[in-house]
Amino acid sequence: MEAQYQTKIKKAAEKNGWTVIKIIRATVNGYPDLMLLKPDRPPIFIEVKDTGGKLSKVQEYQIKLLRLKGFIVLVAYPADFKEILLNIKQ
């Protein structure tokens, strides 16, 4: 289910002009699943979770660090899809 939701987010972002990079393996553990890039916008990182899914401690830490550096980081649950769309349509 999480993979399907991730694909839904990816397609919506690409439809809105974003380049979507799936972060499969980073040199640092805990990075979000997706990085969205668009020339006229700051990058957006998205951690995709299924309903009831929880962030690991490492994910919480990396998200906090990215936000402290000024990056936009979203944690996307299926119930939050409309909010995700608002962020990628702006």
Q: Domain span at residue 37? A: 2-80
CATH at residue 14: 3.40.1350.10
Q: CA-CA distance, 46 to 73, in Å (whole number)?
A: 6
Q: What is the pLDDT of residues 19-67, one digit of tens each?
A: 999 998 767 889 999 999 999 999 999 999 999 999 999 999 999 999 9
19 is a domain residue? yes
Tell me whether residue 90 is in a domain. Answer: no
- Residue 25 confidence (pLDDT): 76
Whose tokens are 């990215």? That residue is: 66
Residues 68, 33: Cα–Cα separation, whole Å: 18
At 13, is the pLDDT very low, low, confident or very high (cuts 50, 70, 90)?
very high
pLDDT confidence of 1, banded at 50, 70, 90? confident
Domain count, the chain: 1
> Which amino acid does the sequence have at 6?
Q
Check whether 72 has a pLDDT greater than 90.
Answer: yes
Q: Does 85 fall in a domain?
A: no
In a domain, 61, yes or no: yes
Tell me whether residue 57 is in a domain.
yes
Report the C-alpha gap between 3 and 53 in whole angstroms: 13
In a domain, 22, yes or no: yes
